[in-house]
Structure formats: C-alpha cells, structure tokens
Structure 1
Amino acid sequence: MTLYAPFQPEPFRDSTCLRALSKGSLNPTRPAWSSAEPHRPLGPRGARGQRGSRRGTLVRRNLGAAARGPRAAGAAWGGPRGPGRELRRDRDWELDRDRDRDRESGPGTGIRAGNPTWSGPRARPGRHVRGAAGAGSGQRRGPQGDADELHGAAEGHRAVPVPSAGLLQTENGVLLPSLQYALPFLDLHGTPRLEFHQSVFDELREKLLERVSAIAVEGKVEERYKKLEDLLEKSFSLVKMPSIQPVVMCVMKHLPKVPEKKLKLVMADKDLYKACAVEVKRQIWQDNQALFGDEVSPLLKQYILEKENILFSNDISFLQNFFSPSPKTRRQGEVVQKLTQMIGKNVKLYDMVLQFLRTLFLRTRNVHYCTLRAELLMSLHDLEISDICTVDPCHKFTWCLDACIREKFVDNKRARELQGFLDGVKKGQEQVLGDLSMILCDPFAINTLALSTIRHLQDLVGQDTLPRESPDLLLLLRMLSLGQGAWDMIDSQVFKEPKMEVELITRFLPLLMSFVVDDHTFTVDQKLPSEEKGPIPYPSTIPEAFTKFLQENRIACEIGLYYILHITKQRNKNAFLRLLPALVETFSDLAFSDIFLHLLTGNLTLLSDEFALEEFCTSLFDGFFLTACSRKENVHRHVLRLLLHLHHKVAPAKLESLQKALEPTKQSGEAVKELYNQLSEKLELRKPSPAEVTETPSMELPLPTVPTPASR
C-alpha cells in the first residue's frame, strides 16, 4: 500500500512562473516559481527511498540553477554560504519521496520496462520519469538513461524558459559589475530593459560620431583619410541598418573622395540617397547632371514664385516695394542659401547652375533668373569661397555693382570702376559679356541705373549741360543698353556690345530735360504772388517724338517709364496726366510689365485724394488700365489691387462702373476671381443700410375758427 499520494504541483507554482515570464522579471536571489512553503507529502515522513531517483532530481535542480546564471548556480539562491533553509528543506523532502517511490516500484517497472503509469487528473509523464529512471535492481545506467532523465526533466519543468531568457540577457547585456545593483533599481521604477539598452546604444553612437569627426581633422591628411577609408570599408555593409546608418554616413561625409562603387550603390537606393549628407551628394551630382537638375529645379520654381508673390502683394505702399530689401537681406532667402549649400566649393556644380539659369532665361525671358545669378555669386562671396569667386570673371564687377544697388545710386568713383571692368574685356574673352549683360539685366541693377540716370538729368538741367557732355551719364546708358540686350546676346551667341543710338543722346534725353524745365517753371510760377503770376498754363500736349521713342527704343522706353514714376512720386498730377497717354503703346508693352505696374500702383497712393475727381479716374482707368485688362491678366490683377486699397477714395458712381468693367470672365484665372470677390465684399460693407421709412406724426394742431366782422 502506498504511503504517499501521487505528487501533483500546486497551481500557485505554475501561475507564479507565468507571471514572471510575462513580466520579464529575472531575480537571481529568489526564483519566481518557488513558494513560501515547500510541498509536504500526504503521509508520514519515515521511509527512505533508493538512490536511483536522486540523479534525476539533482539533474533537474542543476538545470534550473545553470539556466538562471552563475549566481544561481553558485549560491543556489541562498547567498555565498550555500543553500538557504527553504531550499534545503525542499531538497530533503524530494530525496525522501524519490526513495520511497523507487522502493515501491520494484524491479522491472518504470519507463525502462515500457510500463509507465500515471495517476491523478493532473499527473504528467515527466513527473514519473524523474523518479523511475534507474530504479529496481540498482544496475548501472548508461548514457541513454541519462538522456532520458534530461529529456524528462526538461519536459516536466515548466519554468525552464524563464531561466533560459535570463541566461541570454546575462551573456548579451552590458557586463559592468555596477549594473548588477542598478538594473534592479530600474526594474522597481518600471523602466524597461529595452529603453535602458537603447539609451546606452544611442550614447555610444554619439561618442562614435564625435570620434569620426575628430579623426577627420587630426594628424596628416593622408593618414586620417586612410583611417576613414578603412572604417568605411568595414562598416558600409551595415549602411541599411537604421541604427548604424548615421555612423556610415558620417564617415562618407568626411571623405573628400568616396569610392565610386559605393557612390553608385548610394545613388541606386532612394533611401540611402536621401539620408546621405550634402557633401556626399555633391560627389554624385558632379557626374550626374540630370540628377542635379532634378534637385535644383524645384528651388528655381520656388524662387520665381516668391518674386511674383511680392509683385502681386495686396500690401501697396510707396515706402515698401519690390526694391526695398537690401541685397544682403535678399541673399539670406531660403532658395539662395540652399543653392549655396548644394554648390559648396564645387566649381563644376556652380557652372551647372549658371547653365540652368541661362537656359531658363532664354526659354522664359524671365528677368528674375538674372537676379538669382547675381545673388548666388554674391552669396558665395559672403562666405569667402575663393575657389569659385576667383574663377568667375564677373565677380569684381558684380561686387562693385552690388554696392551701387545697396545705395541705389552709381557715384563717380564706382562708375569709373565699372567702366574699367567693361573696358578690360580682352579679345577672345568676349563670352564674358554674356554673363555681364545677364547681371546687368537684373531688375535691381536696371532700377539703380535708371534712377541714377534721372538724377543725372536733373543735375544737368541745373548745370546747363547737354547729356552728351557727361561721361557718367554715357556710362549709365552703356550699361543699360548692355543689360537690356542680354537676351538677344545670349540667344544669338554674338558677344558684342550693342551700339548706342545717337538720337537717344541728342534728342530723347534733351526732350526729357525739357519736361523737367516745364515742371520747374510751372512750380515756380505757382509760388509767385498772385499779382506777379503770368498767364502760363501747364503744357498738356505730348511731343510726338517722345511717343515715338517710347514705342521704338527700348532704352528710351525704360528711362521714360522711370521718369513717369519719378513725377508720380513727387505728386506732380499735371505732369503725370500729360504723359500718361503715351504709356498705352510702348516698346514690348513695358508699361504693362509687372515691375512697372507694381511701382506705379505704389506711387499712386500718394495721389489718393485725386481719385475723387472724375477727370483723374477717367484718364487713369479708362485711358490706361482698361485698355489692356482684357488681353493682359496681370494688368487686371494690378487694377484690382489698387482698388482694394483706394476704393474708399473713388466716387461711388465711378466705382460702380469700374466694378462692372472689371468683372472676371470665364477665362480669368483664380487669382483675378479671388481679388474681385474681395473687392465686392468690401463694397458691400460700404453700402448704407436702407433706412426704414416711417410716417412722422403731423405736428399741426387745428386752429379754432374765429368769426370775421363781416359774419357778424
């Protein structure tokens, strides 16, 4: 009769083990599956069993301790002096149970005899294997018996995976003695081990990046580049690993010449190409013009769009206009800075960008590409990139012209310097004139040259000097002619300065000077006392030669338009209305260009009070703006901009007729429709609300009838 009931594990043990496995808790000082009290047999503790089952118990015990790590295997949870009290008590009880079970089983029983018996609803095969192996006659067991015991121990011990995970963590973790006490402290605070190891990895990566950067500047050039090349060769195979990729990219960044094979691999992979530094991309771009063009093209489109947004801005002011920002401020723009960074010190990339700008200028005739050409060169000048500035023959000329643009005037000293650069173009180097003309075609350069020309003409009037006798004025006209002929020169590839027309100097400029004299004469006459005023009305006719020059000569048209801007800024209404009809037909419709209309609408705000007059509005809108609104959408937009700003000054009847005339058509763009809707909303708000008509009570009281004397 059996003195002991079949051994069944308590549910508490298994549930505790599963909780420990799910939390990842590996406490080497106490196993997660040990309960506070050891399992006791159901019968008395008296009989001693045979020794056949002790090996299975010890193997199982050693497996658990080895899997839990060296600390568990050495001290067996009880500290450095040996097993604890509870562990010893569990071990003695299991040894007694195994001996009794072996004694009862007798010879020929157990797994070896092929007659395993399991009892109880929760009994498992592994439980009987541990006690039955080698029982019976006490014969010596061979290797197969030991293997059966190991298999049974591993199959029956549910908690084996938890110590195995702990062994994996121990072998692959950070092997620092101080962490044995720090990591349990992090466990108490709920910090995952993944977060700890990730932070350690990130810190080590930062240290490695700093070391790579230090290697790039330490020692001799050949030695440090040799170290970087060796490091790149060893680490490039891990370039697609996100955690290691920054290190590989840093090594490539500091190499002046990355191996061609690795550059091709980077270029073929979109993710690697996007992740690599701009220093590496430069080495790819210089041999792949199409790829570089794809990178530059969005920036060029963005630059043109930014310029157009400024020209069509709803904020109209004569103080802040398109030409108000200084050259240095404009060079801090996003597009210019990105292009400068992309080029770096690479002369080949700089030449590619210039070629892109020339091609786009020829294709679109957009003068903003000329502005970008000058701004890009001066941005490299600000960064003192001598590798490019010294090889660009336009550098010093652009530098001097940039100073003039900053002052918005060409003084005598800088005029002589600019003339020296133009005269210094040697035979065989005429292609330089193509780049010089493109720089002079910059609207900011044209604005500076034209303003300086008007100022010189005013000075000549006071000095009683003819235009042909002023060398500075002739130089300004020479540069204006070179800038206005940039497109024709680059298109024809005939790099030769255009000839100056004699009539421009001998007839047109004196005609402008006569307008200045008329203005001075009328102004002085108005300041005289009333008794001394002469009957001199302001001239209202336009010389036919003036209109002809504006239609046929580009330089004359440019100077004439700036003179009209000048008199508008001076609030000279009479001179403005006199010359306004000549703007209907100009050379290449320059009077309807965005830059001129932007400046004109800004200056017209100074004459805001004149918009209340029917004559002024009729001359301005009906005689000039509305003549081109139907065929030029940009004119339509500028008129709407002006009315949005000055609609409260215009007479209501005139405003209503203008609103009807400016109504968009089906072919009109979204920008025009949006501006028109904004204007309509403002006009609706200005309309007075209809007053309610109420009958006022009569204040007359009936008078009593008084009998007349005749009625008596």
Structure 2
Amino acid sequence: MFAGLQDLGVANGEDLKETLTNCTEPLKAIEQFQTENGVLLPSLQSALPFLDLHGTPRLEFHQSVFDELRDKLLERVSAIASEGKAEERYKKLEDLLEKSFSLVKMPSLQPVVMCVMKHLPKVPEKKLKLVMADKELYRACAVEVKRQIWQDNQALFGDEVSPLLKQYILEKESALFSTELSVLHNFFSPSPKTRRQGEVVQKLTQMVGKNVKLYDMVLQFLRTLFLRTRNVHYCTLRAELLMSLHELDVGDICSVDPCHKFTWCLDACIRERFVDSKRARELQGFLDGVKKGQEQVLGDLSMILCDPFAINTLSLSTVRHLQELVGQETLPRDSPDLLLLLRLLALGQGAWDMIDSQVFKEPKMEVELITRFLPMLMSFVVDDHTFNVDQKLPAEEKAPVTYPNTLPESFTKFLQEHRMACEVGLYYVLHITKQRNKNALLRLLPGLVETFGDLAFGDIFLHLLMGNLALLADEFALEDFCRSLFDGFLLTASPRCLHPAGLGARLWHLGRAGAGVGSGLRPPAALLWPLPGRRTCSATCCGSSSTCITGWPRPGWKPCGRRWSPRARWVPCLPGLCRPPRPAPMRPGGEGLPQPRTFPPAERRGREGTLLSAR
C-alpha cells in the first residue's frame, strides 16, 4: 500500500513499526513521528486540539487534506499539459513522471501518476513495459497510454478488439432476426449517423484515437475476419469506423485513408437511400482516379461497397432507374448512371474474391446482363403497367386480358448463374411486394427457389421480404397465395437456411402480420387453420410449420401427432409426443377452408407454456 514512499524519503508504516519496536518510550516516539511527518504549518498545531474536542479523528483530518491536495495536483498537471510550448510542457511532465512513477502502485496516488502519463505523447518504453506487465496497472491506465502499448503489441490489441467485434456481429444478427419488423422499421431504417452512435463503433473510435497504426490494425482485423467468415457486417463496420473518425475531424487518419472521400460520398447516398446523377459522377471520378500502381485501393473500395447498406442503396437505385428507363423508352445500355450503378454493385459483390486472390482489378461487366436480363426485367414492368391500365378501362372497352403467370426460362437461368442479376432480381421482388403487387409476386416466386448462392434465402432478403409481406395481409386469406408463398417458396428454405431459428422467427412475424396483431384486424383463416386436404401440426421437428404429410417436401421428414392450435403453431414439439397425424376436419362438401376445431379443457394439457392435445 505504501510502495514507493521510501524511495522519496517519506516515512511509511514500516518505519513507524520499526520505531515502536526499538523505542523505550512509545508515546514520545509517536509524538516525534507525528511532528516529523505531519503538515508543517505552525498555525496548525494550535488548531488540532479543537478537532480533538469535536471528536474528529486525526486520520479523517489528514485524509481530507490529502484528497484536497491530490485534486489540486491533478488540476495543476492538466494545466501544465495545456499551457506553454510543447517542448517545455512535455519536459515538465517527464520530470514529474520520473519523480512520481515509484508511487504508481499506491492506490491513493496512482491517479496522479496516470494523469501525468495520459498527457505525455510518448511515455518512456521502460515504464510502458512495467505497466503492461502488471494487469492491475494496465486496467487502471488511461486509453491514451494503452494506445502507446497497443501500437507495439498487436496481439494485446487484438485481445481488446475481439470482444467488440463479436458484440457488433451479434447486434447485427439480432437486428436481422428481430420480430419487431415492418415496412417502416427494418434493418436498414437507422440512418448512418444513428448507427455510428452504437457502443462498439464509439469504443473502437476511442481506442483508435488519432493513431494511424492502430487504425491500420483494426482494418487488418476486419479484412482477416471478412475473409475467414464472409460476413458482410465487417464491411459495414469498416465504413462506420472511418465515418465516425470523420465526424470527429480526425485529420491524421482521414487524410491518409485513400477511401475517405469515396466513403463520405457513398455515406451521403446511403443517408438519402438513392444515388443521384451528381453523386454518381463523383463516385465514378474516385474509381477512375485510381492510379496505376495503387490498385490495392480497389480492395478497400470493394469492401466498403460490400457493406449491406451500400448494396441496398445501389440495388434500390438500380430498380428505380429501370422504372425511369421504361417511361423514357430507353435501353439500359444507353444509361450512364445505370451502368455506373452496376459497376459499383459488381465491385462490391466481388470484394471477397478480390481480397482473397489479391488480384486488384475491377470485375468485367457481363454483356448479357445489360443486353438481355435488364430488358427482360423492364418487360415485367411493362406487363404490370399494361395489366393495370387494362383493369381501369370501362367494361365495354376492356379486353379479356389475363396476367402472365409464367417466367421465361432465361430469366430463371440468370438468377441461378449470375450474382448481379440475382441481386437486382431480388430487389425487384422486394419492390413489387412493397407495391402490393400480388400478381407479379406470385409470378416471380417460383424463380426464387433456386438462385445464385441461395441468395433468396439469405438473412437480409428474407428480413426485408417478411416486412414487405405484411402489406399483403389480406391476401393470406386466399389458399392459392398461401400455397405459392409457403409451400412453393418459404418452406423449401428450411434445409438450407443459414439460420433456421431466424427463419422460424420470420415466419412467426409473418403470422403476426397476417393475423393483424396490434392492428385490430381479424386473423386471416389461412394463417389460423390448416389448408384443405392437409394434415397439419405446429412442430418444427417435422421440418415444417404447416404440414405433417410424410416425406413432404423432404423425404426425411416425419409426421407429428400434435393437433394444431394457434398458440402452439410456432413452438417445437416436445420429445415423445409424435404420433400418426389425424386429418383436419373439412367443410361440408370437402371444399374451402376447414372448420376450426375446438377441444374441451379435459382434452388439453399444458406443458412449458405450450398448448398440446391429449395423446
């Protein structure tokens, strides 16, 4: 507790113990010790007896004096660090550190030593090693001192950063799998500035400070983790960290990061959720400005463009441009802005391959994508407009027109073989769903079962699709719509979905949305009761939440004997409760939706909050 006092010539408890051990008159020895080591003020000696009369212990008095002096000393150290020339103030601080460092392990004086170290731009290496070797001292020192330790100890810095990166990924996945989902509130709703106020980004920003070396270390960690996991959220963090430093006007880092201005411009586009012509030209200028010999910059640019928020903005802008081209009767190949959006998308989608192969050059644009796929997508837009106009015509002028219900084989092939086509196609599906275009959705759903890299069953697309499907709540009362959506698409995702629990949460949200939870709407029958001709259960142990037919749609699935109930629909079966299913009761004539079955209380039993029918 009193380590270091002897080095400064100040008596401590050990000295008092030795004095009392060797003296013959303890009271005189104590009085002499107090005189030599007390506060040397002549006027104080006559005032101390008054404290004794009031019952104030000398320890309490000396402790209050000590605390006051320590606070004054801390203020003086901070003042020295901010006044005068740099060389002079740093010399004073170094002298103070040399005199006081021996007291660093003394808890009452440790804050003073740490304050001196905090204001020194370069603490002597010997003292840094002593701090690093002692875990308690390391935890107690300020982040400014830790930066000086971290910049020469990458492993130690990695140990500090790793928990933050894990926390960041968990937060992103939690947001993706959240059941609090709607068209107006989804994963992409928070603005860039709001996202940068997150705990992880703020902590990383503080840890990096103005240290370029630490910033480079963080970027290297993010690149390594991105290569190892293919998790695109690391790309988001890379962009958020740079823009967080930009907001703090950390010129030491922003001026040396070649991606700064590009990221700044792209951040503005993400904030507006659209890439206009002016910013498109700026982004193009940054790409064209990459000089020969500096191609490695493309690796960082591609990682920033791989950020899901950037991909979302670019894809939405692409779909919007395609609609505008339909009205202008212009082909995709004649639109420079559209070609630039595709160029940026291609660069972002190729980020992992580029960083992995270390071949830094822009991927070639597929000619067929521009000359065949995009015109085909525009033809779908024309089909929608034609059908809508025909439906608005007077009855006597209306021709018998049916909405096209088939997809060109080439369109499905594009979705399966070309990532760019798949990305644009999926965002077009999201667009028509948000427009409540049921006919177009049912037409395109079969093409989503097999897509490039199963992108249609990716977390982000399913997250957005579930939110948009809430707008079609009334359609869930229709059997054909439910069959196409659930049997034809969503339930085929179970065996290959990256996060089966996430899919279950999304289906649960879809059930709430379709049932009008919180909106006062009556739940659509198709979500509350089995489909005609189906034997249904609510168990995920059969692999499905809407059917128990053996082997459907996967051979390994088994029937479950649980009777269906609205509350148990999304809850897994309990072990040992599976048995051959019973057919669902049908309406008279076997047509339409089955009648709801009710069971008397004696037939039901509760277990772990789940409604189960009696065996």
Structure 1 and Structure 2 fold alike (TM over 0.5): yes
With the length of structure 2 as denominator, give the TM-score of the two structures: 0.81
Change (3 A) 1:282 1:506: same
Note if 1:538 corresponds to 2:406: no
- The answer as to whether partners of 2:473 and 2:513 remain within 8 angstroms in 1 is no
Letter in 1 for 2:481: F
- The answer as to whether partners of 1:644 and 1:679 remain within 8 angstroms in 2 is no
Deviation at 1:172, TM superposition (A): 3.7
Q: Which runs of 5+ in 1 are unaligned?
A: 1-153, 666-675, 693-712
Note if 1:453 corresponds to 2:329: no
Deviation at 1:650, TM superposition (A): 4.5
Choose the corresponding residue for 1:277, options 142, 148, 151: 142
CA distance in 2, matches of 1:284, 1:576: 57
Choose the corresponding residue for 2:64, options 199, 211, 222: 199
Change (3 A) 1:175 1:687: farther
Change (3 A) 1:297 1:679: farther
Q: What are the residue-to-residue correspondences of 1:164-179 with 2, within 5 Å?
A: 165=30, 168-169=33-34, 171-176=36-41, 179=44
- The answer as to whether partners of 2:314 and 2:341 remain within 8 angstroms in 1 is yes
- The answer as to whether partners of 2:232 and 2:307 remain within 8 angstroms in 1 is yes
Change (3 A) 1:396 1:658: farther
- The answer as to whether partners of 1:614 and 1:654 remain within 8 angstroms in 2 is no
**Secondary structure class of the residue paired with 1:351:** helix
**Secondary structure class of the residue paired with 2:420:** helix
- The answer as to whether partners of 2:539 and 2:571 remain within 8 angstroms in 1 is no
Aligned position for 2:289: 424
Change (3 A) 1:611 1:260: same
Choose the corresponding residue for 1:329, options 172, 182, 194: 194
For residues 330-370 of structure 1, the C-alpha deviation after alignment (integer angstroms, 9 at most, x for no partner) is 11111111111111111111111111111100000000001
Deviation at 1:166, TM superposition (A): 5.5
- The answer as to whether partners of 1:457 and 1:513 remain within 8 angstroms in 2 is yes
Aligned position for 2:503: 635
- The answer as to whether partners of 2:176 and 2:459 remain within 8 angstroms in 1 is yes
Change (3 A) 1:346 1:536: same
With the length of structure 1 as denominator, give the TM-score of the two structures: 0.70
Change (3 A) 1:227 1:529: same
- The answer as to whether partners of 2:416 and 2:450 remain within 8 angstroms in 1 is yes
**Secondary structure class of the residue paired with 1:332:** coil
Deviation at 1:643, TM superposition (A): 2.5
Change (3 A) 1:681 1:539: closer
Choose the corresponding residue for 1:653, options 522, 529, 539: 529
Deviation at 1:680, TM superposition (A): 2.1
CA distance in 2, matches of 1:570, 1:537: 19
For residues 648-672 of structure 1, the C-alpha deviation after alignment (integer angstroms, 9 at most, x for no partner) is 335332389664353477xxxxxxx
CA distance in 2, matches of 1:370, 1:600: 23
Aligned position for 2:302: 437
Aligned position for 1:506: 371
Letter in 2 for 1:465: T
Aligned position for 2:612: none
CA distance in 2, matches of 1:663, 1:455: 42
Deviation at 1:529, TM superposition (A): 2.0
Choose the corresponding residue for 1:315, options 165, 180, 191: 180
Choose the corresponding residue for 1:616, options 474, 477, 481: 481
Deviation at 1:224, TM superposition (A): 1.2
Change (3 A) 1:620 1:170: same
- The answer as to whether partners of 1:316 and 1:645 remain within 8 angstroms in 2 is no
Deviation at 1:321, TM superposition (A): 0.5
CA distance in 2, matches of 1:442, 1:691: 53
Deviation at 1:612, TM superposition (A): 1.7
Letter in 1 for 2:119: H
Letter in 2 for 1:649: P
Please identify the structure whose Cα radius of gyration is greater: 1
- The answer as to whether partners of 1:415 and 1:475 remain within 8 angstroms in 2 is yes
Deviation at 1:630, TM superposition (A): 3.1
Change (3 A) 1:659 1:161: farther
| Residue-pair matches, total | 524
Choose the corresponding residue for 1:241, options 90, 106, 109: 106
Letter in 1 for 2:509: R
Aligned position for 1:680: 568
Choose the corresponding residue for 2:128, options 252, 255, 263: 263
- The answer as to whether partners of 2:117 and 2:145 remain within 8 angstroms in 1 is yes
Note if 1:405 corresponds to 2:262: no
Deviation at 1:606, TM superposition (A): 0.5
Aligned position for 1:548: 413
Note if 1:290 corresponds to 2:166: no
For residues 480-511 of structure 1, the C-alpha deviation after alignment (integer angstroms, 9 at most, x for no partner) is 00100011111111101111011100110011
Change (3 A) 1:475 1:618: same
For residues 291-340 of structure 1, the C-alpha deviation after alignment (integer angstroms, 9 at most, x for no partner) is 11111111111110110000011112110101111111111111111111
Change (3 A) 1:181 1:583: farther
Q: What are the residue-to-residue correspondences of 1:27-106 with 2, within 5 Å?
A: none
Deviation at 1:641, TM superposition (A): 3.4
Change (3 A) 1:187 1:681: farther
More displaced 10-residue stretch of structure 1: 207-216 or 185-194: 185-194
CA distance in 2, matches of 1:618, 1:187: 90
- The answer as to whether partners of 2:306 and 2:351 remain within 8 angstroms in 1 is yes
Deviation at 1:168, TM superposition (A): 4.6
Choose the corresponding residue for 1:354, options 201, 219, 243: 219
Change (3 A) 1:196 1:498: same
Change (3 A) 1:367 1:384: same
Letter in 1 for 2:170: L
- The answer as to whether partners of 1:565 and 1:603 remain within 8 angstroms in 2 is yes
Aligned position for 1:488: 353
**Secondary structure class of the residue paired with 2:568:** helix
CA distance in 2, matches of 1:653, 1:679: 12
Deviation at 1:162, TM superposition (A): 6.1
- The answer as to whether partners of 1:368 and 1:442 remain within 8 angstroms in 2 is yes
**Secondary structure class of the residue paired with 1:497:** coil
CA distance in 2, matches of 1:339, 1:650: 50
CA distance in 2, matches of 1:577, 1:177: 95
Deviation at 1:231, TM superposition (A): 1.0
Choose the corresponding residue for 1:596, options 461, 465, 474: 461
CA distance in 1, matches of 2:63, 2:196: 42
